[in-house]
Chains A and B, each alone.
Chain A
């Protein structure tokens, strides 16, 4: 993972480790947005990974059907 992607992933890691387990599942996709974000950062680096994550979050609302949506 690139250094930039690593820095960006820190709050996501925190969320996944400490908060995700406490909260109910709301994500309309599989894999969930946080898993998707980690994979996207891993695979595409800080810039494209962040963009993919942002785009995914924008779609994760009731006007998008959701469903299975792996990282490209």
Chain B
């Protein structure tokens, strides 16, 4: 089908290869220079130790009092009523099951319900193939966004620092219902001059809640200090994937705090943000997992305070502190909104949602914390959103995100079709110049530079150019990087099955590595199919080097990216073949004339 001596037939293949190489460089560049660094191996023990040994500000208070679950709950402070046993309360709303305890009046669990609301499954190759042949592998556990950290204040617990401290682990009386609503809990606790009443309320649906903290000064003197709200979350390192060169951006939880106009984040191995940077108007704070978020925000607008972030391999912690000043006999109330759920952009964009605004009697113009900023597409945000919008459109039609990715590939190919077509037409033209090119090659055989210059002059004279150009291959690169970023950040695609028993989550690597291998094989085949113009050594390099590098890189990358590039390879082969056939037919129809005025539409395999 192809003349083995013609330079044109393998041109588009060359461009594909070059594009792969370039995207490889870009990825390598990203991982080396831009991506967050993974934690040092072996730092685990040291880090964890630091956290436990140095509970900083909250700890000075908490140390005096038994922490929840430490086993010494039978020795309350001397001035307290007779000891009651710890009371645990489990409450369920439609999409979340909560667990609370009287010790600290905080969350012991917030388990999201539904098949998608799970930790990311990480299968070994063996398990992957077992699953492929039909063996049942148990799914990963449901996502618990409030797993407490042993020895640390519970999520949602509060403490007061100052002359009259209040510990985070204080015992609270728990009553069900809050503010006339059945969907809620009220915690009441007393110590020293303080009486603290915390109420939690939530609409039946959704992931939002209202958290009101009332602090009353029962003493005769004014009291000053700092009110601290804690959110610590234990993290199972088995479900975290640190970013790495062959592992992509990973799947990490970060302690997060949005201060003034900036989101500060901390994952293990990161430097602690500077104290002055995390001081200011707090917009929200919480734990930001790759696809799930647990965050609190001042319900009535940003509030002056400061954040303390902490991250160890097994825990992420954030404490928000607000200045507190209560006159004798007075009460101060701080109201927070909470979002403990998936990072679904549609849900995050409307926080506080209509149901919550009703429950908290807020107006339509209530403060909106920019929780959607936790979905971090980085510098590729615009392109990521465009790609996601296109894929979402196809998902609406097909109901399958894998098929959406395939259709996205087709769309990109179609957009680039005029370029491919033009260059193929141009290559036909160049055939006529073959004898003169040979002449030049012979004449300047020892000078590559001069050879190129002369050939370029020849092209210019004849007003043709068989080379595809640098832009067409560069255009695909941003698409790949953006798709990669989108996959690793989009809850929409997270945990969505494509086909078969193994391709159940396109945002994570293919456990069987079949897709990246198929991608490599497709590259080798297309390369082998093409006649080679280069010397044998270079041809061999071209045939094997790029496919191997590409397969190796994509082994650990989201399966969706492999799917995109694999589909792209297949389409390239089909397109090359189809366009060539069409041009040949065109030529015979017009008696060898040049196909100068043909529209480049509709012909694609």
Contacts and interface: CB of A to CB of B under 8 A. Distances in A.
Interface in B512-560: 534, 541-542, 545-546
Interface string B565-580: 0000000000000000
A65 B463 contact: yes
Interface in A16-70: 19, 22-30, 32-33, 57-68
B467 A19 contact: no
B465 A11 contact: no
Contact of B453 (A19, A30, A66): A30
Interface string B21-49: 11001000100000000000000000000
Contact of B22 (A19, A65, A68): A19
A47 B182 CA distance: 63
A24 B25 contact: no
Given A58-B471, A62-B469, A67-B459, A23 B419 contact: no
Contact of B14 (A26, A33, A60, A64): A26
A26 B21 contact: no
Contact of A28 (B10, B18, B465): B465
Contacts of A59: 471
A65 B460 contact: yes
Contacts of A57: 470-471, 474
Interface string B462-497: 010101111111100000000000000000000000
A26 B467 CA distance: 5
Contact of B471 (A19, A25, A61, A65): A61
Contacts of B17: 23-24
Measured as residues with beta carbon below 8 angstroms from the partner, the interface class of chain B is: 35 or more
B457 interface: yes
A23 B469 contact: no
Given A23-B17, A30-B453, A66-B465, A60 B471 contact: yes
B157 interface: no
B14 A61 contact: no
B469 A27 contact: yes
A62 B14 contact: no
Given A14-B25, A29-B456, A62-B422, A23 B18 contact: yes
A57 B453 CA distance: 19
Contacts of B116: none
Nearest to A58: B471
A62 B25 contact: no
Nearest to B475: A61
A24 B11 CA distance: 9
A32 B469 CA distance: 10
A30 B456 contact: yes
A64 B470 CA distance: 12
Contacts of A15: 22, 25
B423 interface: yes
A20 to B, nearest CB: 9
A3 B494 CA distance: 43
B265 to A, nearest CB: 26
Given A22-B541, A33-B470, A62-B419, A67 B456 contact: yes
A11 B419 CA distance: 26
A46 B302 CA distance: 41
Contacts of A14: 25
B25 A68 contact: no
A27 B423 contact: no
B232 interface: no
A59 B418 CA distance: 15
Contacts of A26: 11, 14-15, 18, 467-470, 473
A25 B473 CA distance: 12
A14 B418 CA distance: 31
Interface in B219-236: none
B470 A65 contact: no
A19 B26 CA distance: 12
A59 B465 CA distance: 13
A24 B22 CA distance: 12
Contacts of B472: 61-62
A60 B542 CA distance: 23
B459 A62 contact: no
B469 A61 contact: yes
B425 to A, nearest CB: 8
Interface of B: 10-11, 14-15, 17-18, 21-22, 25, 29, 418-419, 422-423, 426, 452-453, 456-457, 459-460, 463, 465, 467-474, 534, 541-542, 545-546
25 contacts: A11-B25, A11-B29, A19-B25, A22-B545, A23-B14, A23-B18, A24-B17, A24-B534, A24-B542, A26-B18, A26-B469, A27-B470, A28-B468, A28-B470, A29-B456, A60-B471, A61-B469, A62-B419, A63-B422, A65-B460, A65-B465, A66-B456, A67-B456, A67-B465, A68-B457
